[in-house]
Amino acid sequence: MEVLNSLLQGFSLALTMQNLLWCFIGVTLGTAVGVLPGVGPAVTVALLLPVTSKIDPSGALIMFAGIYYGAMYGGSTTSILLNTPGESATIITAMEGNKMAKKGRAGAALATSAIGSFVAGTLTVIAMTFVSPLVVDIAIRFGPPEYFSLMVLAFVTVSAVLGESPLRGMTSLFIGLAIGLVGIDSQSGAARFAFDVPQLLDGIEVVTVAVGLFAVGETLWVASKERATEEKVMQVTGSLWMTADDWRRSWAPWLRGTAIGFPFGALPAGGAEIPTFLSYAMEKRISKKPQEFGHGAIEGVAGPEAANNASSTGTMTTLLALGLPTSATAAILLAAFQQYGLQPGPLLFVNSADLVWALIASMYIGNVMLLVLNLPLVGIWIKLLEIPRHLLYAGILIFATLGVYGMRQSAFDIFLLYAIGLLGFLMRRYDFPTAPVIIGMILGPLAEAQLRRALSISQGDWMIFLQKPLSATLLGITAMLIIGPWAWKKWKAAQG
């Protein structure tokens, strides 16, 4: 089988000492930032983008991917012990897992989420191995109109369908698109919105935006609202081993969670949040003891934890095979590829097959490392939760300036970082989602290139997007996603 050959080839590259080390660093960092409140995988990968100028692409990308899926493991630890979701995909775990911890079952909750994450991670990497070549086969036939329509669909799902308010989501997305426009236009060479500032001619770095919104904005927010948030770390009581009953109740939710999470991550319906809610609802419905849900039912941890891990692999699949990022972290991973002059998508499987398969193989290895890191060694990560907040956030700011300055060696970017931090603070204050900004600024220029290419082919005729059947279908789905919920609301209101 061709796929297995490629995969074996990938393993031979991923198993070199050097790449094993990068993988280990990645998953360890990922777990750490997943555990720590205030930093997530998106910021971490962004901060490490400057190192791409110094290390080879396979090592760097293996490390970055490790940070991404590693954070999914670490996030659950925080949710269970702190009742504050380490990130949005672990909201459910924060509810149900924390209830288990309060009943003295923290050990079992940590175990079922770590093992569930491992089961989901491994099964979905297998799925990714076989699905991505199929996706590549289809996507390689995409022309500019199809690609542009696909990107429009992705824009709408990440900003308008997910999240609370389509209006605020779209506003965030368009701010991101505007940021992405700054600098020299790669096709015509015209300078756009740079106002003769040399640093703006090169465009605005994704590091600066991601770190400004997520790290600086978050720090300003948390510090100025500190009196509102008091958190207590729960002690891990009870055995870290699951009882026979726990296993019996966990295995099926793991598998169902995996089955829900992967397609959700893979479709440009991105986000790890929705599949966790779906998995939770499903487990509750199937359960013979639904009354236990909300009071520490192990199924309510096992399912959603598997689902969020599965969706992160799904997102990676879409990123690699289609070149389409559906989460903030995936968008920054895309930027990491671009640092090396690589463009994820079907051609990557043709032109850089070694790299892609080494990356996929490293994910099998990374999941094994993560199981060990998160189960027997969970005690180390709990220590991280005890770092006093003022030291934690002050430290994050040092790393923020390091990454931002390191990218272009320019003090201008530190001021820009602060300005974007202010924007992040405002967005937090008025409940605007931040991820669409990142996706907009990274995917925007790619969408623009496809749009202009498509219109050049059609000699300026916009009908080309409707004449191509696949493109028209994608735009139809997009229109339905925008109009559907709105029409539904109107209809319900009319019914009284």
Q: Which residues bind other proteins (CB under 8 A)?
A: 50-51, 53-55, 84, 164-165, 167-168, 170-171, 174-175, 177-178, 181, 185, 187-188, 190, 192-193, 216, 219-221, 223-229, 388-391, 393-395, 397-399, 401-402, 405-406, 409, 411, 414-415, 417-418, 421, 425-426, 429-431, 444, 448, 451-452, 455-456, 458-460
Q: What is the 3-state secondary structure (H, E, C) of the chain?
A: CHHHHHHHHHHHHHCCHHHHHHHHHHHHHHHHHHHCCCCCHHHHHHHHHHHHHCCCHHHHHHHHHHHHHHHHHHHHHHHHHHCCCCCHHHHHHHHHHHHHHHCCCHHHHHHHHHHHHHHHHHHHHHHHHHHHHHHHHHHCCCCHHHHHHHHHHHHHHHHHHCCCCHHHHHHHHHHHHHHHHCEECCCCCCEECCCCCHHHHCCCCHHHHHHHHHHHHHHHHHHHCHHHCCCCCCCCCCCCCCCHHHHHHHHHHHHHHHHHHHHHHHCCCCCCHHHHHHHHHHHHHHCCCHHHCCCCCCHHHHHHHHHHHHHHHHHHHHHHHHCCCCCHHHHHHHHHHHHCCCCCCHHHHHHCHHHHHHHHHHHHHHHHHHHHHHCCCHHHHHHHCCCCHHHHHHHHHHHHHHHHHHHHCCCHHHHHHHHHHHHHHHHHHCCCCCHHHHHHHHHHHHHHHHHHHHHHHCCCCCCHHHHCHHHHHHHHHHHHHHHHHHHHHHHHHHHC
Phi and psi at 255, nearest 5°, equal -70, -40
Minimum CB–partner distance for residue 136 and other proteins (Å): 28
Amino acid in position 374: N
Q: Which is nearer to other proteins, 139 or 328 (CB)?
A: 328
Q: Which is nearer to other proteins, 98 or 250 (CB)?
A: 98
Minimum CB–partner distance for residue 393 and other proteins (Å): 6
Minimum CB–partner distance for residue 391 and other proteins (Å): 6
Q: Which is nearer to other proteins, 216 or 332 (CB)?
A: 216
Minimum CB–partner distance for residue 69 and other proteins (Å): 24
The half-sphere exposure of 202 on its side-chain side, counting CA atoms within 13 A, is: 10
| Nearest in space to 265 (alpha carbons), one of 369, 415, 131 | 131
Minimum CB–partner distance for residue 381 and other proteins (Å): 20
Minimum CB–partner distance for residue 139 and other proteins (Å): 23
Q: Which is nearer to other proteins, 55 or 477 (CB)?
A: 55
Minimum CB–partner distance for residue 166 and other proteins (Å): 9
Q: Which is nearer to other proteins, 136 or 200 (CB)?
A: 200
Minimum CB–partner distance for residue 50 and other proteins (Å): 6
Minimum CB–partner distance for residue 289 and other proteins (Å): 26
Minimum CB–partner distance for residue 190 and other proteins (Å): 4
Measured at the CA of 302, the angle between CA 301 and CA 308, to 5 degrees, comes to 85
Q: Which is nearer to other proteins, 220 or 333 (CB)?
A: 220
Q: Which is nearer to other proteins, 141 or 227 (CB)?
A: 227
Minimum CB–partner distance for residue 278 and other proteins (Å): 19
**Rounded to an integer, what distance in angstroms lies between the CA atom of residue 46 and that of residue 57?**
15
Q: Which is nearer to other proteins, 289 or 489 (CB)?
A: 489
Minimum CB–partner distance for residue 424 and other proteins (Å): 12
Q: How far is CA 466 from CA 152, 451, 484, 489, in A?
A: 13, 13, 20, 28
Q: Which is nearer to other proteins, 185 or 245 (CB)?
A: 185
Q: Which is nearer to other proteins, 126 or 181 (CB)?
A: 181
Q: Which is nearer to other proteins, 10 or 57 (CB)?
A: 57
| Nearest in space to 32 (alpha carbons), one of 403, 323, 475, 378 | 378
**Rounded to an integer, what distance in angstroms lies between the CA atom of residue 113 and that of residue 109?**
6
Which residue is it, tokens 């998160």? 374
Sign (positive or negative) of CA dihedral 314, 317, 322, 327: positive
Minimum CB–partner distance for residue 396 and other proteins (Å): 9
Q: Which is nearer to other proteins, 114 or 153 (CB)?
A: 153
Q: Which is nearer to other proteins, 227 or 285 (CB)?
A: 227
